[in-house]
Amino acid sequence: DAKTTQPTSMDCAEGRAANLPCNHSTISGNEYVYWYRQIHSQGPQYIIHGLKNNETNEMASLIITEDRKSSTLILPHATLRDTAVYYCIAMEYGNKLVFGAGTILRVKS
Amino acid sequence: GAVVSQHPSRVICKSGTSVKIECRSLDFQATTMFWYRQFPKQSLMLMATSNEGSKATYEQGVEKDKFLINHASLTLSTLTVTSAHPEDSSFYICSASRGLIGNQPQHFGDGTRLSIL
């Protein structure tokens, strides 16, 4: 599975959109981009995933570039409860999720 | 949404005892379950993959005789830490997947914090 690169940490003002980037320049055609987050002392929470097209659900939007080498997770109106570690994982469906260091998102009032 | 329940949420026990952790998928049948371990300020590390009705597949460096995994039904997998020692103290997390059906992500339990005295 392709390696992903994420910024170590980011800050976002409460109520504003949080845009979390992820680089996956070696991604293959069969690999999906998955996003999970982990709030302190809890198990990871699934957010969204996609292959080629942009995706949106009740939690977030996932924007994947046309060449699929990078993507951005968008939390449209960040709240304090969105403070967490966000993991971007490129994985061929059915394979194992391998977690990197992720991005620590701090939402501030 | 999919719910994965893990029990117990926290356990404290003496060195040398064995501890069993349960992972249940509450609203779907999980053909595959995964067990992870997380040390403080570190990311999750996959320990093993279990498929219902077959032996678990362990990641390199994980002792299969130390960490016994049983996946006897489509809704339950258990991890038993045998003869636990202080270095086994960690946050253990399971996840469940419907398997290769459609396009379904893994869903995680809330973890078990294991402290060995």
pLDDT level of residue A97 (50, 70, 90 thresholds): confident
Instruction: Give the integer Cα–Cα distance in Å for B49 and A65.
Output: 32
A62-66, A80-84, B25-29: segment of lowest average pLDDT: B25-29
Residue in the structure block whose two tokens are 């680089």? A23
What pLDDT was estimated at residue A91? 86
For A7-61, the pLDDT digits (tens) are 999 999 999 999 999 999 999 888 899 999 999 889 999 999 999 999 999 999 9
Residue in the structure block whose two tokens are 């996609």? A50
CB < 8 Å to A59, chain B: none
What pLDDT was estimated at residue B103? 65
Rounded to a whole number, what is the distance in angstroms from the first to the last CA of chain B? 37
Contact A100 B113 (CB under 8 A): no
What's chain A's length in residues? 109
Which of B106, B112, B113, B115 is the best mutation test for A, with the most CBs of A within 10 A? B106
What pLDDT was estimated at residue B1? 58
Alpha-carbon gap: A28 to the closest alpha carbon of chain B (Å): 17
Contact B34 A41 (CB under 8 A): no
- Average pLDDT, 10 consecutive residues per value, chain B (117 residues): 88 96 92 93 93 89 95 92 96 84 79 96
Contact A43 B95 (CB under 8 A): yes
Structure tokens at B76: 């339950």
For residue B89, how many C-alpha atoms fall within 13 Å in the half-sphere facing its CB?
11
What pLDDT was estimated at residue B54? 85
